C-alpha cells in the first residue's frame, strides 16, 4: 500500500536560460552594429562639412580675383628748372625725374599687363607722358618699374596759376594711369583686370626735392 501511495511527479521543464542568453547576445550585436553605423554616419557628415568649408575658403580666398594696385612709390629728380621772374614772359618749369611705379598683386595668380601710358597734368592740362612697360607681377608680390619722365609747361596757355604757385616755392602735378592685363590662376582661369592710378606730386622748388606724394 505504501508503494501505491507514492506519487509520481513530472520532471520540471528544462531551464530556458541558455536560449535567453543567445537572444541577449544577438540583441547586443545588433545594438553594436547600429552604434557603429551611427558613428560612421557622423564621421561622413563631419567630413562632408569639412570638405564644404575647405571649398568655401578656397573659393573666397584663392579663387577670388582682386584688382591689383598701381602706384608711384618713389621719385628721383634728375633736373629741375623753373622761372617766375618779371623778366620772363611767363612762369615756366622743366623737370626730368625717374618715377618708380609699383604694381601690387595680392592674388594667388600672376598678373600680366601691357604697355600703358602714364600722364602728368598741371591744372588739368597734360604736361608730360611716359610709358609703363609691359611686365608681370608675380602672385602675391609687388612689381617695381623705373620710368623716366620729362614734363614742362609749354602746353600751358594760362600760366597765372603757375606763377602764383611758384611764388610759394611749390609745384603741384597730377599723375594718372590705367593698366590693362589679366590675372591667371593655375594656368586655367584668366580674369581681365584694369587697375587705375591717381597720384598728386608736390615739389619744393627751392630745395628741388619732392615734398609730398599722395596716391589713390
- Residue 107 in any domain: the answer is yes
- Residue 15 in any domain: the answer is no
pLDDT of residue 129: 98
Q: How many domains would you assign to the chain?
A: 1
The pLDDT of 5-29, averaged and rounded, is 61
Instruction: Residue 173: count other Cβ atoms within 10 Å of its Cβ.
Output: 19
pLDDT of residue 26: 74
pLDDT in tens, 24-75: 777 777 888 888 788 777 878 777 767 666 655 655 555 789 999 999 999 9
- Residue 3 in any domain: the answer is no
* Residue 98 CB burial class (10 angstroms; 0-12, 13-18, ≥19): middle
Query: Which comes out higher in pLDDT, residue 56 or 113?
Result: 113
In 3D, which of 213, 215, 197 has the Cα closest to residue 116?
197
In 3D, which of 148, 149, 145, 120 has the Cα closest to residue 134?
145
pLDDT of residue 178: 98
Average pLDDT, the chain: 86
Can you tell me which residue has the cell 628748372? 81
- Residue 142 in any domain: the answer is yes
With a cut of 70, say whether residue 145 has pLDDT above it.
yes
- Residue 32 in any domain: the answer is no
- Residue 77 in any domain: the answer is yes
- Residue 153 in any domain: the answer is yes
pLDDT in tens, 182-215: 999 988 889 999 999 999 999 999 999 999 999 9
- Residue 2 in any domain: the answer is no
* CATH number for position 155: 2.60.40
Residue span of the structural domain in which 150 resides = 69-215
Amino acid at each position: 500500500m505504501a508503494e501505491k501511495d507514492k506519487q509520481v511527479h513530472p520532471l520540471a521543464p528544462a531551464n530556458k536560460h541558455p536560449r535567453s542568453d543567445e537572444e541577449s547576445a544577438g540583441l547586443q550585436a545588433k545594438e553594436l552594429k547600429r552604434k557603429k553605423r551611427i558613428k560612421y554616419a557622423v564621421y561622413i557628415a563631419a567630413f562632408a562639412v569639412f570638405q564644404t568649408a575647405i571649398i568655401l575658403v578656397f573659393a573666397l580666398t584663392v579663387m577670388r580675383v582682386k584688382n591689383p594696385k598701381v602706384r608711384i612709390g618713389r621719385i628721383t629728380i634728375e633736373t629741375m628748372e623753373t622761372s617766375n621772374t618779371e623778366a620772363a614772359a611767363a612762369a615756366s618749369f622743366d623737370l626730368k625725374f625717374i618715377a618708380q611705379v609699383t604694381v601690387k598683386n595680392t592674388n594667388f595668380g600672376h598678373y600680366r599687363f601691357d604697355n600703358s601710358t602714364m600722364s602728368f597734368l598741371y591744372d588739368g592740362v597734360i604736361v608730360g607722358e611716359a610709358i609703363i612697360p609691359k611686365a608681370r607681377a608675380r602672385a602675391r608680390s609687388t612689381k617695381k618699374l623705373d620710368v623716366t619722365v620729362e614734363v614742362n609747361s609749354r602746353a600751358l596757355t594760362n600760366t597765372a596759376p603757375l606763377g602764383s604757385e611758384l611764388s610759394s616755392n611749390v609745384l603741384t602735378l597730377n599723375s594718372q594711369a590705367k593698366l590693362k592685363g589679366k590675372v591667371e590662376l593655375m594656368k586655367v582661369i584668366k580674369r581681365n583686370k584694369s587697375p587705375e592710378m591717381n597720384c598728386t606730386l608736390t615739389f619744393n622748388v627751392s630745395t628741388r626735392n619732392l615734398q609730398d606724394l599722395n596716391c589713390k
